[in-house]
């Protein structure tokens, strides 16, 4: 905005320009559709009506066929579940055995860890962290000595 | 008596329906895309969808509105890839237009209305609209031709309200500039515009 722009004057000019555009739009008749459009649409309708249901998507199949397919799939799933019931029971038992075995191992590990003094545990964790820090520091020094620079992110937006 | 929605579709009835609305549908698509081939593809898709719903549309007084809405939505979906470009340009070029530009733009439209006949004016405006960049033309057409509100346009294009207003204002100024240039070209050529 310049020093000479008054908000009210500007608003009036904006509204005047808008009214002129509105008038131009109201008076603008529709563009004539190309003569080929009608033929294209009708040919496509005929083509789609002649294509077999298998060639079109599931949503275009007759409702009765879709309902029968869904019911059939549900019936098959129920049959499979019934047939597999003994198998499922056995799998559940094996899962329970595996869970018990894992619990036993976990309890053993817990007892072993519990037997270690707390100071030793904390000291070990601290030593591990320091060793990792030293490793990364050595890596950084080595890279800088060899002149290997890390990849930089692009600074300009795409 | 069989309800309209359940009667089998008569091809002549659908053809008559299509002829009644094809200009409106095509106009909506071509003003937004500024590309006649793309607009024809979109118009075809609109009428194919109308055929699938013709049972309900054939007797509905809102058929025209339905067709216009579907045409607008399909066209905007087609133009979706330009959305990032709209946001970019609107972010880079910010600020209000100088007041003298607004005044001269209004003067151009006054001159267009005063000194051209309807046929000339129609052709000039269509040519100038097609020459606008997408990020100005689309919101301008949605506001002035499709009569959508700023808020609806912002929601539909997924840009901010301020950007819609800036793009529409700049679109108006650019349209005026193109009309003025075309008017000057025509007067230099000494010929009248033919549709």
Higher pLDDT, B101 or A61: A61
Give the pLDDT confidence of B55-82 residue by residue, as tens digits. Answer: 888 888 899 999 999 999 999 988 875 5
- What's the gap between Cα A97 and its chain centre? 37
Alpha-carbon distance A7 to nearest alpha carbon in chain B (angstroms): 10
- Average the pLDDT over A5-18 and give the result: 76
Q: How confident is the model at residue A158 (pLDDT cuts 50, 70, 90)?
A: very low
Cα B166-B170-B172 angle, rounded to 5 deg: 120
> Do B27 and A30 lie within an 8 Å CB cutoff?
yes
Higher pLDDT, A81 or A34: A34
Judge whether residue A18 has pLDDT over 60.
yes
Give the H or E element holding residue A33: none
Q: What is the mean pLDDT of residues A34-41?
A: 93
Handedness of CA B14, B15, B16, B19 (dihedral sign): positive
* Average pLDDT of chain A, as a whole number: 83
pLDDT recorded at residue A56: 64
Q: Distance (Å, rounded) from C-alpha B142 to C-alpha B159? A: 14
* Complex confidence, ipTM: 0.73
**Six token digits for residue A115:** 């037997």
Interface test with B, best of A26, A31, A48 (most B CBs within 10 A): A31
Please give the average per-residue pLDDT across A107-128, as a whole number. 93
Q: Output the DSSP codes for A90-153.
A: HHHHHHHHHHHHHHHHHHHHHHHHHHS-HHHHHHHHHHHHHHHHHHHHHHHHHHHHHT-PPPPP
Number of residues that this document lists for chain B: 195
For residue A81, what are the contacts with CB-CB under 8 A and spacing of at least 6? A88
Whose CA is closest to B24, among B43, B11, B49?
A: B43
Q: B103: part of which helix (H) or strand (E)?
A: helix B99-115
Taking an 8 Å cut-off on Cβ atoms, the answer to whether B99 and A10 are in contact is yes
* Segment A44-56, tens digit of pLDDT: 998 888 776 666 6
Cβ-contact B25, B67 below 8 angstroms? yes
Range of lowest pLDDT (A40-44, A70-74, A105-109, A141-145): A141-145
pLDDT band at A38 (very low <50, low <70, confident <90, very high): very high
* pLDDT string in tens for chain B (195-residue length): 445 555 566 788 899 999 999 999 999 999 999 999 999 999 999 999 999 888 888 888 899 999 999 999 999 988 875 555 555 444 444 445 555 666 677 777 777 777 777 778 888 888 888 888 888 899 999 999 999 999 999 998 888 999 999 899 888 888 888 887 776 565 555 544 444
pLDDT confidence of residue B186:
58
Determine the pLDDT at residue A150: 53
Contact B123, A6 (CB under 8 A): no
Q: Which of A155, A59, A4, A45 is nearest to B11 (CA)?
A: A45
The answer to whether the Cβ–Cβ distance between A33 and B26 falls below 8 Å is: yes
Alpha-carbon span B13 to A76, nearest angstrom? 45
Quote the pTM value: 0.62
What pLDDT does residue A153 have? 43
- Is B26 in CB contact (< 8 Å) with chain A? yes
What pLDDT does residue B109 have?
73
Q: Is the pLDDT of residue A76 over 70?
A: yes
State residue B183's pLDDT score: 66
Q: What is the DSSP string of B4-66?
A: GGGSPPPHHHHHHHHHHHHHHHHHHHHHHH--HHHHHHHHHHHHHHHHHTHHHHTT-TTHHHH
Q: Does A38 touch chain B (CB under 8 A)?
A: yes
Q: Answer whether B180 touches A (CB < 8 Å).
A: no
Which among B24, B98, B118 has CB closest to A2? B98
Output the pLDDT for position A52.
Answer: 63
């Amino acid at each position: 905005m310049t020093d000479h722009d008054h908000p009210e004057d500007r608003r009036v000019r904006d509204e005047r320009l808008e009214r002129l555009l509105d008038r131009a739009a109201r008076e603008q008749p529709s563009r004539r559709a190309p003569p080929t459009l009608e033929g294209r649409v009708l040919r496509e309708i005929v083509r789609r009506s002649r294509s077999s249901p298998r060639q079109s998507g599931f949503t275009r199949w007759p409702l009765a066929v879709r309902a029968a397919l869904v019911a059939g799939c549900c019936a098959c799933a129920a049959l499979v579940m019934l047939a597999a019931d003994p198998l499922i029971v056995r799998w559940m038992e094996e899962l329970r055995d595996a869970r018990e075995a894992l619990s036993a191992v976990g309890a053993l590990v817990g007892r072993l860890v519990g037997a270690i003094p707390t100071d030793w545990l904390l000291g070990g964790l601290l030593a591990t962290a320091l060793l990792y820090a030293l490793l990364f520091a050595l890596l950084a020094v080595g890279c800088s000595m060899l002149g290997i620079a890390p990849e930089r992110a692009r600074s300009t937006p795409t | 008596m069989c309800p309209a929605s359940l009667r089998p579709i008569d091809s002549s009835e659908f053809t008559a329906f299509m002829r009644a609305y094809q200009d409106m549908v095509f106009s909506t698509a071509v003003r937004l895309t500024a590309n006649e081939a793309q607009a024809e593809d979109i118009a075809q898709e609109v009428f194919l969808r109308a055929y699938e719903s013709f049972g309900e549309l054939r007797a509905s007084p809102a058929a025209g509105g339905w067709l216009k809405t579907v045409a607008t939505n399909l066209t905007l979906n087609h133009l979706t890839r330009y959305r990032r470009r709209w946001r970019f340009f609107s972010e880079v070029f910010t600020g209000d237009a100088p007041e003298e530009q607004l005044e001269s733009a209004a003067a151009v439209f006054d001159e267009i209305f005063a000194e051209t006949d309807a046929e000339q004016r129609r052709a000039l405006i269509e040519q100038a609209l097609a020459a606008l960049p997408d990020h100005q033309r689309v919101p301008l057409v949605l506001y002035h031709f499709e009569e959508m509100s700023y808020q609806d346009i912002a929601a539909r294009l997924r840009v901010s309200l301020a950007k819609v207003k800036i793009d529409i204002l700049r679109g108006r100024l650019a349209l005026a500039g193109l009309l003025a240039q075309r008017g000057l070209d025509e007067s230099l050529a000494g010929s009248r515009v033919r549709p």
